[in-house]
Structure 1
Amino acid sequence: MSNGRTGRRKGNPDTRAQILDAARDAFAEVGFDRATIREIARRADVDPALVHHYFGSKDKLLLATIDAPFDPGKVLPGIIGPGLDGVGERLVRAFVGVWDGPAGARGSVLLRSALSHPLMLRLLREFLISRILRVAVRELGVEIDHAPFRGSLVASQLLGLALTRYILKVEPMVDAPPEAVVAMVGPTIQRYIEGPLPDSAP
């Protein structure tokens, strides 16, 4: 006999996991910008209000899908706020600070997962492009030519740093003092952001 209840089910112990699974699929398939809370809720077979209840916003939902080691919304203002001058060193200092801290273990797990699982790789790429690089360029408030290409160069440098220092643990990089890393890598990031590009740059 029916109990008369209709509609999508309310929260249960598995609801959060269902939403995360649906969000991973949606973000990987259509990207962060095109994926909507309503579509994610439909895939999870829950009410959209439950998505907001568990995660608050689409930004935080993306962070949860990859167990991100940091929230760009909290870190980027300190990097971008002072302006373009010195942004490379601030970015590297913040990056190394996160990875050298307690959240570094989560970052290592994320990067290892991305290297071996195509779904996590797409999610990590979406996180880097949509929630870090695009936001950083927009918040800098200056016109940056070839911004996508420059952003990919910055990403290549930071991911290379993460691999050598925290995953492969290449000596002596793994034991280099943070400020030494900042002093050497920061200017390279700065050049990628505002330095001249070859005529063949995409």
Structure 2
Amino acid sequence: MTTSADDSESAPRPRRGRRPSGEDTRATVVAAARSEFASRGYETATMRSIARAAGVDARLVHHYFDSKEDLFVAAMELPIHPNDLIEKVLDGPRDRIGERLVRFFLGVWDSPEGRPVILALVRSAVSHDDAAQMLQQFVTGAILGRIASAVDTPDPQMRAALVASQMTGLVFVRHVLKIEPVASASLDELVPLLAPTVQRYLTAP
């Protein structure tokens, strides 16, 4: 009977009953999430599939992370949570939403904490199809798609994709290719040039 119990304990299945704790377990969940997001994409990966990959009960994943977005932020080591970004972009006059979005994105990208993370994600997306799909789904779905839907104009998916093309193109030119004078331009120089285009994508008829 002792052997059977040991075999059961070593089986690679979600563990029920007493909840494991500690940073090691959380790190296991985060590592599994990183792998699941990379292989399945952001939309297809689920809290349950991540729990299976980590070998833990799905309730344990929810113990550490309230949502898939929270887990993605931790797995990708993002410098800001989408909810915070969206709240700041939508908080204010509708006719200046493009300005707030550009200023906030650039502020995150140019920060010492944000730049290495964004660069790693963009470079990975350029060289790996799975990474590109994951980043595309997260940016257009979890961030820009929600902003476009909140603006309540027709074709939010198209609008979100157009904004994504503008913003990802900017980060590539500014931080990867380092094309001047965009690479060395200040935030205050770039925002007035880009904001009207983003505003038009989001709110124009």
**TM-score band (shorter)?**
0.7 to 0.9
Give the superposed CA RMSD: 2.5
> Which runs of 4 or more aligned residues in structure 1 lie more than 6 Å from their structure 2 counterparts after TM superposition?
none
Q: If the length of structure 1 is used for normalisation, what is the TM-score?
A: 0.82
Q: Report the residue type matching 2:149 in the other structure.
A: R
Give the distance between the partners of 2:174 and 2:46, measured in 1 at CA: 36
Which of residues 188, 193, 196 in structure 1 aligns to 2:197? 188
Which of residues 40, 48, 51 in structure 2 aligns to 1:38? 48
Following superposition, the deviation at residue 163 of structure 1 comes to: 0.6
Give the distance between the partners of 1:150 and 1:175, measured in 2 at CA: 28
Match of 2:58 in 1: 48
Following superposition, the deviation at residue 82 of structure 1 comes to: 1.4
> Which ranges in structure 2 are unaligned for 5 or more consecutive residues?
none
Flag the 1:118–1:66 CA change in 2: closer, same or farther, 3 A. Answer: farther
Give the distance between the partners of 2:131 and 2:75, measured in 1 at CA: 9
Match of 1:2 in 2: 3
Which of residues 71, 75, 87 in structure 1 aligns to 2:81? 71
Match of 2:165 in 1: 156
Give the distance between the partners of 1:136 and 1:151, measured in 2 at CA: 8
Give the distance between the partners of 1:91 and 1:114, measured in 2 at CA: 22
Following superposition, the deviation at residue 166 of structure 1 comes to: 1.2
Give the distance between the partners of 2:79 and 2:130, measured in 1 at CA: 18
Give the distance between the partners of 1:162 and 1:35, measured in 2 at CA: 26
Give the distance between the partners of 2:40 and 2:104, measured in 1 at CA: 30
Which piece of structure 1 moves more, 99-108 or 155-164?
99-108
Flag the 1:191–1:68 CA change in 2: closer, same or farther, 3 A. Answer: same
In 1, are the aligned partners of 2:42 and 2:138 still within 8 Å (CA)?
A: no
In 2, are the aligned partners of 1:137 and 1:147 still within 8 Å (CA)?
A: yes
Q: Report the residue type matching 1:124 in the other structure.
A: L
Q: Report the residue type matching 1:123 in the other structure.
A: M
Higher relative helix content: 2
In 2, are the aligned partners of 1:164 and 1:174 still within 8 Å (CA)?
A: yes
Give the distance between the partners of 2:184 and 2:46, measured in 1 at CA: 43
Flag the 1:65–1:47 CA change in 2: closer, same or farther, 3 A. Answer: same
Match of 1:200 in 2: none
Give the distance between the partners of 2:67 and 2:42, measured in 1 at CA: 16
Flag the 1:176–1:30 CA change in 2: closer, same or farther, 3 A. Answer: closer
Give the distance between the partners of 1:130 and 1:170, measured in 2 at CA: 29
Which of residues 71, 94, 116 in structure 1 aligns to 2:127? 116
1:176 aligns with 2:185: yes
In 1, are the aligned partners of 2:51 and 2:61 still within 8 Å (CA)?
A: yes
The number of aligned residues is: 193
Give the distance between the partners of 2:171 and 2:76, measured in 1 at CA: 17
Flag the 1:42–1:62 CA change in 2: closer, same or farther, 3 A. Answer: same
Q: Report the residue type matching 1:185 in the other structure.
A: L
Following superposition, the deviation at residue 154 of structure 1 comes to: 0.5
In 2, are the aligned partners of 1:114 and 1:124 still within 8 Å (CA)?
A: yes
Which piece of structure 1 moves more, 162-171 or 11-20?
11-20
